[in-house]
Every structure is written in C-alpha cells, then in structure tokens.
Amino acid sequence: MAQLAAHIQSQLNANCLISLVSFVILCYDYCLTFADEVDCFWDQRGFTWASLLYFMNRYLALFGNVPMMFAAFWEANNLSKKTLVFLQRIVGIQSILPDRLTASDRQWVFQFCAGIVVYVRVNVAVLLIMRIYAMYGQSRWIIAVFAVVDIATIALGCWASLAPVPAHGIHVYHAGCSNYMWQNQADRVALAWSGQLCFDALIFALTLYKSFALRRSRSKHLINTILRDGSLYFAIITAANLANIVTILTAAPFAKGAATLFTNAISATMMSRLMLNLRDPRRIGARTCSSQTTEGAVDTNLPVMTSVFAKDDERQRQTYTHTHEDIEMIPRDCRP
C-alpha cells in the first residue's frame, strides 16, 4: 500500500486517536458506573419506557463504536483467513483487506459512523426534552418550543446531508470514519450542527434558570442545585458541541469530523450520568418535599424534581424501591 503524504497521514492519525479516546471514555465510564446502574436500573420490579431509553443510550452508544474501532485500527495482515471471512460477513463489506476495500465499502463504513452519530443525538435529545418537560411541570409550551427547534434542526441536517459532493478531490484509502471534506461542505455541516448547538444551549439555559429560581426560593447552595438538576451535564454537552463546530470549520480537510465521535461519546456519557444521578437513592432521599421544623411544620410547598413518579412516599426514606407505576423524569407534587 502506497505511503500517504505526511500531512494527510497526520490528519488521519488524529482521527484515529480521537476515535480511540471517545471509545475509552465510554468504556471507562461504563466500568465506573456499572454498579450504580445495577442498583438503580436492574434492581427494580418494573421495566419502564424511560429505562428502555437509558439502556439504548448506554449500550448502543457503547457497542456501536466497536465496529468503528475495527475500521480504524484493524490490521488484516495479522488476522487469519477464517477471521477475515467472519469479519467480512459481520461487517457486511465485500473485502476486509484495507488495500482491497471498494468505494462502496468505504461509503458503507462512513454511513455506519454517521448512523451512530444520528442515533445518539436523537436519543439524547429525547431524554433532554423529557428532563426539561419534567422540570417545568409538564408545561405544554415546552413541547411547542422544542418542536419548533427540532423541526429547524432536522431541516438543517437534511439540507446539509443532501448537499452535492464535488466530483473532484483527494481520494485515498484510509481506515476509520474520516472523510475528505471541502470547505463548502464543512460550512453546511457546521450549520447543521449549529442547530444542535442551539438545542443544547436552550436546554442548558432553561435548566440554569430553573436552578437559580429554586435557589432563590429555597435558599439552597447554588452548586448543589446545579449538580442536582443537571446544569453541569448540559454545559459539558454544549461545550463539546461547540468544539465540534469549531473543528469542522477550521480543521484540515481530513480532520474536520475528528471531534464528532468525541462529542457523541460525551453526550451519551453525560446523559447516562444524569439519569443515574436522578435515580441515586442518596440524592432522592435528600430531595424531600419540604424542610420541617421540630413540630413538623412545613416551610415550603415547592415541587421537587425526581426521576420517578409513584403512589407512595417511600422514596423519601433511606430505603429506595421502585414500583410498577414508575414514570421517570416526571415532577412529583409535594405532600407534607
């Protein structure tokens, strides 16, 4: 296989390394939080639709990156013939050998990577809307606002993906999901991601506003309110999305999409962390509906955001159990 120019090889190396970092983040966070996942999502009586969304976000983002790691790092010369045939059938391309991949094979790999990106973004967006919808008392204006934002984001994404690709350009074999991107293509893709950035920024602003409102009304420490309501998670997601847009606009042609998989990994990780945080028995036990005096008087009747909605008040105890009526991320009216 012919040697690539040094500047092209460095761009491809950056893509591979960033893909590896993204996969390591997913795996490392999974190992750190697996015990919490068992306690919060596995040890329960019922399986709810929000639990399904959590597992989809958690595991499809994790295992969906495995084929991309193969695409970025496999060395066919070090694999046996039987292994090559097996991988060929699993991956679904005509030839597993790097120097024999057809143009359609490379396009398939690129489309698979793009599909994982779209899937993770949609799943995270649904979970974020659920969270904001819960925080604002299931207000219909929340649904209306996000419907407009989502339609605009989808329209921008379709416009960017349907843009004509220049027939001329640099065509070289390379592993992974990186692809040569002209500047006019990059401008379109960045504009599509800007719609996602506006969505994330709106989520962050609404959450931060609610955090400040609850702090003023309850005289709580701001940092505790921000950590509880997820503002910090949303800020990280927004920052990662902004970095991705900057990379698309300013990076070299083969490195313009280098931060996309990293942004997806951060989004999926932060969303999983938020849902685990919402179901954490220690935090739920601290989310009492009111602070009581020694006589049992109630100081406030403000609503509390919980990850579940049940008929009893057992979640205010130290022992945390789920019921079949659990509907995650719905606000619960406080009762003295």
Per-residue pLDDT reduced to its tens digit, 3-51: 557 777 777 778 888 888 999 999 999 999 998 888 888 866 667 777 8
Which residues lie below 8 Å from residue 58, measured CB to CB, with a gap of 6+? Answer: 30, 37, 268, 272
pLDDT in tens, 77-116: 555 555 555 555 555 544 444 444 555 555 666 677 778 8
CA dihedral 320, 53, 48, 321 (to 10 degrees): 0
Rounded to whole angstroms, how far apart are CA atoms 81 and 183? 41
Contact 18, 261 (CB under 8 A): yes
CA dihedral 122, 128, 131, 136 (to 10 degrees): -110
Q: φ and ψ at 268, to 5 degrees? A: -65, -40
Residue indicated by tokens 């994790």:
62
Quickly state the pLDDT bin for 325 (edges 50, 70, 90): very low
Nearest Cα to Cα of residue 48 among 334, 278, 316: 278
CA 27 distance to own-chain centroid: 14
For domain 1-85+106-165+178-281, the CATH class is mainly alpha
C-alpha distances out from residue 279 to 36, 181, 236, 334, Å: 9, 42, 21, 18
pLDDT at residue 321, as a whole number: 40
Residue indicated by tokens 């993204």:
22
- pLDDT of 336 over the 50 cut: no
pLDDT at residue 252, as a whole number: 82
Q: φ and ψ at 33, to 5 degrees? A: -110, 5
Nearest Cα to Cα of residue 207 among 135, 113, 148, 153: 135
For the chain, the domains span 1-85+106-165+178-281
- pLDDT of 197 over the 60 cut: yes
Give the DSSP H/E element, type plus range, for residue 92.
Answer: none
pLDDT-above-70 percentage for the chain: 59
pLDDT at residue 303, as a whole number: 36
pLDDT in tens, 130-150: 888 888 888 889 999 999 998
- Average pLDDT value for the chain: 71
Rounded to whole angstroms, how far apart are CA atoms 108 and 182? 20
Quickly state the pLDDT bin for 168 (edges 50, 70, 90): low
Alpha helices in 74-182, H assignment, sequence order = 81-91, 103-135, 140-161
Q: Is 304 helix (H, G, I), strand (E, B) or coil?
A: strand
pLDDT at residue 29, as a whole number: 94
- pLDDT of 57 over the 60 cut: yes
Which residues lie below 8 Å from residue 180, measured CB to CB, with a gap of 6+? Answer: 169, 170, 171, 253, 254
- pLDDT of 335 over the 60 cut: no
- Tokens (6 digits) for 141: 């204006």
Contact 175, 254 (CB under 8 A): no
Question: Burial, 204: exposed, middle or buried (Cβ in 10 Å; 0-12, 13-18, 19+)?
Answer: buried
The residue count of the chain comes to: 336
Degrees (nearest 5) of the Cα angle 285, 236, 30?
Answer: 65
Q: Whole-structure pTM over 0.75, yes or no?
A: no
Rounded to whole angstroms, how far apart are CA atoms 336 and 317? 14
211-220 long-range contacts (CB < 8 A, ≥24 apart) are 214/302, 217/300, 217/302, 218/300, 218/302
Q: Is 277 helix (H, G, I), strand (E, B) or coil?
A: helix
- The residue ranking higher by pLDDT, 26 or 181, is 26
Rounded to whole angstroms, how far apart are CA atoms 140 and 320? 31
- The residue ranking higher by pLDDT, 172 or 274, is 274
Rounded to whole angstroms, how far apart are CA atoms 306 and 323? 14
Degrees (nearest 5) of the Cα angle 24, 28, 34?
Answer: 145
pLDDT in tens, 226-245: 555 577 888 889 899 999 99
